[in-house]
Amino acid sequence: MVEVPATTPNIIFILTDDLDKATLEAPLDRMPSIKSLIADQGATFDNFYVSESMCCPSRATILTGEYVHNHGVEDNYAPDGGFAKFRDMGHEERTIAAHLKPLGYTTGLFGKYVNEYGPKTDSSTHVPPYWDRWFATFNEKRYRWRVNDDGTETRYGKAPADYSDNVIGEKARSFISDGAADSPFFAYVAPHAPHEPLEDPPDHTTEFADEIAPRNPNFDEADVSDKPEYVSKQPFLTDDEKLEIDQNYPHRLRMLLAVDDMVGAIVNDLEAAGDLDNTYIFVTSDNGLMQGEHRRGGAKHNPYEEASHVPLLVRGPGIAPGTRISELTLNTDFFATFADMAGDPADRDGRSLLPLLNGNTPTSRRNQLHLGNPGSYYGIRTERYKYVEWDDGDMELYDLQNDPYELQSIHADADPTLVEDLKAKLDALKSCTGQSCREAEDAF
């Protein structure tokens, strides 16, 4: 085993589910721990995205550090995605845990792993290699749920103490407390909030009662004739649909309060153990969620900002409190970042965020790839534009500087040289791997 210096940092990665950036930012002042202990004490990324806005492909990207076209997990379910595809392609042998474990890290996963993990894929007792502690749930239920607890299938009931995200937090805290005396450790903590089913935590059942979903200009968009057929044929939201969106919203926020409680408890544990100053803590999401934007309710795998723009907050050694980072960043970057923090950089598709966190050399990424499900569209987002090519020939092009809510696709009237340039950059990204991805992302 490689010897690790005593100063090698611990890493805690908290991955929520279906949390768009706006849903966390709007009520952030009422998420006291996430705000005061993470955002205020660390860095907020203003332009952090996922390359495919769907649970399993995004989680596969986080675990492998690769764009979807390289890891091949294109969907939540077989045959194009899900647990079996992830396992059968050999990815469990090359996750971030496989990189950190030989460096002396104690590794643990708590909560959601990848979709279809569990009894249906004969994985009720399967523990992937390189994980020292394994507590992986089989679905997103909050009560009456099952979990693989270090190779043993365990069932939880309907008592308040069985609320899944609270249990996930407790198991993670036990691992972190044990590891604080024998660091370094890597904790991958994946609560289900604010994913459906919308069941309030037992300690948070009344907050946000008067909140309604955001009413940005693209909510129930007035004119969608510029968009592909699956949107342009979408009728206006009915009153009942709007009501359902608004009724769901407070529950989503209450479920996030369970994550906020978890964050507060973890930070308190680390501080009590004297290990807080040597620990990086990340709070992010696997994808966003559309809540009525462009007449789409509950949609994820779409090319629009609400589906792919997610929060990323980080505190840890060397990060100045209140840091804001505006550079384009992506979920391909987590693997490289964790590896860099461990002192053993990795060459996957992404790049380390550590220089940005330390206030040093900014990333030169100007372009990033977005992929549809499975392969229904490819898109590129630059610092200013978003260009999307659909498999059926439809196109979309948005000037995000002048049209941040993507109200009017300008593909029909744009300068042909602009379209040709974006198409060429997109083509380079669609087939990139490793260093060639970074070169394609950096292209002017």
Active site (annotated) includes residue 55? yes
Catalytic residue chosen out of the listed positions 55, 56, 432, 437: 55
Nearest to 120 by CA among 150, 152, 146: 146
Q: What is the 3-state secondary structure (H, E, C) of the chain?
A: CCCCCCCCCEEEEEEECCCCHHHHHCCHHHCHHHHHHHHCCCEEECCEECCCCCHHHHHHHHHHCCCHHHHCCCECCCCCEHHHHHHHCCHHHCCHHHHHHHHCCEEEEEECCCCCCCHHHCCCCCCCCCCCEEEEECCCCCCCCEEEECCEEEECCCCHHHCHHHHHHHHHHHHHHHHHCCCCEEEEEECCCCCCCCCCCCCCCCCCCCCCCCCCCCECCCCCCCCCHHHHCCCCCCHHHHHHHHHHHHHHHHHHHHHHHHHHHHHHHHHHCCCHHHEEEEEEECCCCCECECCCECCCCCCCHHHHECCEEEECCCCCCCEEECCCEECCHHHHHHHHHCCCCCCCCCCCCHHHHCCCCCCCCCEEEEECCCCCEEEEEECCEEEEEECCCCEEEEECCCCCCCCCCCCCCCCHHHHHHHHHHHHHHHCCCCHHHHHHHHCC
Active site residues: 55
